[in-house]
C-alpha cells in the first residue's frame, strides 16, 4: 500500500461547534473535499472521517478527526500508524488566534503555539516537522476571553474573510504537494495580505 500525503483539519465534532472559529480547520478540509468531489466516511477504529483522493496527481488522504479538539492527536496517530505515514508528508490545518481573519499562513515545523489540538498531536507524534496551515481567526484582546471567543461564531464579515483565506490556501495546495513550499508560501501570503 502506497503512503498517501495526509491533509488533516482540526476542529470539534457535532453541530454545536460546526460554525465556531475553532473549527476553521474543519472548514478547510470540508472545502477541499468539496473541491475534490470527495465524501468523507467514518472509520471508527481510526477515530476519524477519511477520504482518499487524487488531487492534481497526488495521492492524498483527507482526515477529519472525530475526537474533540484536545484529543486530536489520538486520531492523527491512529491514521499515521495505519497508513504508515511519515510526519514530513502531512499538513495540519487549524485556527490561529495570532493572525487576523482573512490571513492564512503556511509553515513547516515549529511549536504548538498553545493550540490544544496541536499540543495533543505533539504528545502523540515524535516528529514535529510537519506542515501547518494556520487560518487566522483574530484575538479577543484578553486572555480570559479566549475560550469563549474560539468556541463562538465569527461575525459574517470575519467568517467571509476566513473562508476566502481558506479558498486561497486550497489554490496553492498543488504547489505544496509538488514540494515547492516557498512558492506556495509566497503566493498565499501575498494573496491573503492583499485580501484584507
- Active-site residue list: 22
DSSP string, 23-56: GHHHHHHHHHHHHHT---EEEGGGTEEEEEEEET
Q: Cβ(101)–Cβ(162) under 8 Å?
A: yes
Cβ 91 vs Cβ 23: under 8 Å: no
Lookup: cell for 181? 513550499
Cα(170)–Cα(32) distance, integer angstroms: 7
Amino acid at each position: 500500500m502506497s503512503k498517501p500525503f495526509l491533509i488533516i483539519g482540526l476542529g470539534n465534532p457535532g453541530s454545536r461547534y460546526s460554525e465556531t472559529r475553532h473549527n476553521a480547520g474543519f472548514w478547510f478540509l470540508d472545502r477541499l473535499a468539496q473541491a475534490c468531489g470527495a465524501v468523507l466516511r467514518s472509520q471508527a477504529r481510526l477515530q476519524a472521517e477519511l477520504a482518499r483522493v487524487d488531487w492534481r496527481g497526488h495521492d492524498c488522504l483527507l482526515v477529519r478527526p472525530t475526537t474533540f479538539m484536545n484529543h486530536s492527536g489520538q486520531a492523527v496517530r491512529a491514521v499515521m500508524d495505519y497508513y504508515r505515514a511519515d510526519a514530513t508528508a502531512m499538513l495540519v490545518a487549524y485556527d490561529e488566534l495570532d493572525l487576523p481573519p482573512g490571513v492564512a499562513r503556511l509553515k513547516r515545523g515549529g511549536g504548538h503555539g498553545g493550540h490544544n489540538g496541536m499540543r495533543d498531536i505533539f504528545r502523540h507524534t515524535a516528529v514535529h516537522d510537519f506542515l501547518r496551515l494556520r487560518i487566522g481567526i483574530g484575538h479577543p484582546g484578553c486572555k480570559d476571553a479566549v475560550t469563549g471567543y474560539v468556541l463562538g461564531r465569527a461575525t459574517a464579515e470575519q467568517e467571509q474573510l476566513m473562508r476566502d483565506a481558506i479558498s486561497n490556501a486550497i489554490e496553492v495546495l498543488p504547489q505544496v504537494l509538488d514540494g515547492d513550499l516557498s512558492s506556495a508560501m509566497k503566493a498565499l501570503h501575498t494573496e491573503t495580505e492583499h485580501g484584507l
